């Protein structure tokens, strides 16, 4: 007997068969989601490539509803008997699970295609080609007169087909691929060791990335950190959050405050702020997954099969919308916005939908260059990313400003160490003084420019 070709059409048909099987067992509704993924990964350590591997995985997730209870199970097997067994396990779980009021599955809807989220050229990229890209990044490390090494650095090409079927008539499939790179660099000069620096890239077209320049920039920043001076007595409250620093703490806090599950649990500072001003008038925050520029957030439907959509979240500083999954939308007697997630990455089929997040979140850029953003600052700091604690419910944060540099008389004067910052994100949003034009995709999922803020407590060691 010849091996079955696991085409999207076959996998959708198989999922429909398993959904029908589940609903024949005194179940009110059934849902089958599958994830078919292939990955090529290059790992780098020191100044060379440490490992290269290619993996693939096919997984199915089955959810069922019986009255107000939900059952869930998953499997890596794709034969009919194994999938029926998986469905039976989900049915049995529904029989013993506590009630979950408001549970429901998505209804059929039209899906909009997103141009450019799958690249045939990228799909044909080989391990040998990725090794060439990695070596280009590593050349500046190898050529530097100063000892610079990488740690936990990788280039990953991922290709994923996502399908979902439910007994209410939903059937959807889309395929996406991308190349991600994440590198860490640390420089040493004699006994002196600089703090680590990080950077990442995301693309569906490797020809748009200058890999050697990426490595060179990383090395230059690592060397800069060796020269960093211990910060003392910075009498200022003006801080420039560079794009990577915006993600945490600002972006994460904003997004969680917009999530309907947090609102309904009274864990959001914005729970009663719909249609109120929550930020400076210039702040525009939109969720737009219908563009390839949204990185991994570009998706046709969410993890419950609900079509994604463009949503104005904050417009002219006013809170316009919250984001919902099916459960929270049911409890609020509204419709899901298509922002349901389950797990992370290539293993997301191992979890039922369990959190709400933006798909293609973007903070709109301003018109000022990074240089113009600081040209009238007498004293302040700019920094690359934040490392510390944050309480998302109330927005309070405190920690180290990594990659900090002193701003003096409108220009960057020197790199700094031992700088800590603290504040409250919800206050920060009302104390923004400017947005840069340097829009960047951060963590492959969020676009933001640099943001200049006042009212931040800057502390240094005595």
152 shares its domain with 192: yes
Does residue 181 share a domain with residue 301? no
Look up tokens 């990426």; give the residue. 214
Whether residue 243 is contained in a domain is answered as yes
* Cα distance between residue 332 and residue 316, in whole Å: 26
Same domain, 243 and 195: no
Binned at pLDDT 50, 70 and 90, residue 310 comes out as: very high
What pTM was computed for the model?
A: 0.95
> Do residues 284 and 162 both lie within one domain?
no
Task: Note whether 309 and 338 are same-domain residues.
Answer: yes
Burial class of residue 374, CB neighbours in 10 A (0-12, 13-18, 19+): buried
pLDDT at 248: 93
Q: Within this chain, do residues 222 and 323 fall inside the same structural domain, yes or no?
A: no
Q: Would you say residue 3 lies in a domain?
A: no
Quick one: pLDDT at residue 1? 37
What average pLDDT does this structure show over 445-456?
97
pLDDT digits (tens, 9 = 90+) for 123-179: 999 999 999 999 999 999 999 999 999 999 999 999 999 999 999 999 999 999 999
Residue 2 within a domain: no
* Residues 211, 245 within the same domain: no
446 CA to centre of own chain: 6
Q: Which of 173, 192, 226 is the last residue of a domain?
A: 226
Residues 44, 75, single domain; the answer is: yes
For residues 164 and 15, membership in a common domain is answered with yes
Tokens 């944050």 correspond to what residue?
390
Cis peptide before 289 (omega within 30 of 0): no
Residue located via tokens 């191992």: 350
Q: Is 101 part of a structural domain of the chain?
A: yes
C-alpha distances out from residue 189 to 217, 223, 229, 296, Å: 18, 9, 15, 38
| Domain contains 14 | yes
Whether 41 and 175 map to the same domain: the answer is yes
pLDDT above 90: residue 4: no
Q: Which of the listed residues 179, 202, 226 is the one where a domain comes to its end?
A: 226
What domain range is 115 assigned to?
A: 8-226
Q: How many domains does the chain have?
A: 2
- Segment 26-41 shows an average pLDDT of 96
Predicted confidence at residue 347, as pLDDT, reads 65
Terminal Cα distance for the chain, rounded: 76
Tens of pLDDT, residue by residue over 193-241, are 998 999 999 999 999 999 999 999 999 999 999 999 998 989 999 999 9
3-state secondary structure of 311: strand
Residues 157 and 213 in one domain: yes
Write the CATH number for 142. Answer: 3.30.2290.10
Encoded tokens for 211: 């890999």
Average pLDDT score, the chain:
96
In a domain, 1, yes or no: no
Question: For the segment 330-355, what is each residue's pLDDT rounded down to a tens digit?
Answer: 999 999 999 999 986 556 889 999 99
Domain boundary at 211, 226, 241, which?
A: 226
Report residue 42: phi and psi, to 5°: -115, 125
- What is the number of other CB atoms lying within 10 angstroms of the CB of residue 14? 21
> Residue 408 falls within a domain, yes or no?
yes
Does a structural domain hold residue 203? yes
Tell whether 58 and 206 lie within a shared domain. yes
């Amino acid at each position: 007997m010849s091996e079955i070709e696991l085409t999207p059409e076959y996998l959708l048909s198989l999922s429909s068969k398993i959904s029908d099987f589940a609903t024949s067992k005194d179940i009110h509704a059934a849902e089958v989601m599958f994830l078919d993924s292939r990955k090529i990964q290059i790992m780098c350590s020191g100044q060379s490539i440490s490992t290269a591997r290619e993996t693939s995985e096919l997984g199915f997730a089955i959810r069922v509803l019986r009255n107000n209870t939900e059952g869930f199970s998953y499997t890596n097997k794709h034969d009919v008997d194994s999938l029926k067994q998986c469905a039976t396990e989900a049915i049995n779980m529904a029989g013993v699970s506590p009630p979950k009021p408001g549970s429901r599955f998505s209804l059929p809807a039209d899906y909009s295609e997103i141009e450019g989220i799958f690249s045939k050229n990228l799909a044909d990229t080989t391990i040998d080609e990725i090794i060439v890209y990695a070596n280009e990044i590593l050349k500046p490390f190898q050529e530097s007169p100063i000892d610079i090494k990488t740690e936990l650095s990788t280039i990953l090409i991922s290709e994923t087909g996502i399908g979902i079927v439910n007994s209410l008539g939903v059937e959807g499939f889309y395929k996406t691929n991308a190349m991600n790179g994440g590198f860490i660099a640390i420089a040493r000069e004699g006994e002196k060791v600089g703090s680590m620096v990080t950077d990442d890239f995301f693309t569906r077209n490797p020809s748009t990335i200058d890999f050697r320049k990426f490595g060179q920039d990383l090395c230059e920043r690592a060397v800069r950190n060796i020269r960093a001076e211990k910060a003392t007595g910075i009498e200022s409250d003006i801080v420039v959050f560079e794009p990577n620093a915006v993600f945490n703490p600002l972006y994460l806090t904003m997004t969680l405050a917009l999530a309907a599950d947090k609102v309904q649990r009274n864990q959001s500072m914005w729970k009663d702020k719909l249609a109120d001003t929550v930020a400076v008038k210039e702040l525009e925050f939109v969720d737009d997954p219908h563009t390839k520029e949204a990185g991994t957030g570009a998706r046709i439907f969410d993890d419950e099969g609900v079509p994604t959509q463009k949503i104005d979240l904050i417009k002219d500083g006013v809170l316009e919308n919250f984001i919902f999954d099916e459960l929270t939308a049911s409890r609020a007697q509204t419709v899901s916005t298509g922002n349901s997630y389950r797990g992370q990455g290539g293993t997301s089929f191992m979890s039922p939908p369990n959190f709400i997040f933006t798909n293609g979140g973007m903070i709109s850029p301003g018109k000022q260059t990074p240089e113009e953003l600081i040209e009238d600052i007498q004293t302040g700091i700019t920094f690359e990313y934040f490392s510390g604690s944050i309480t998302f419910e109330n927005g309070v944060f405190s920690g180290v400003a990594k990659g900090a540099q002193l701003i003096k008389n409108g220009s960057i004067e020197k790199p700094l160490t031992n700088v800590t910052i603290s504040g409250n994100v919800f206050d920060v949003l009302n104390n923004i003084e400017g947005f840069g034009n340097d829009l960047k995709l951060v963590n492959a999922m969020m676009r933001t420019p640099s943001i200049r803020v006042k009212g931040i407590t800057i502390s240094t060691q005595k």
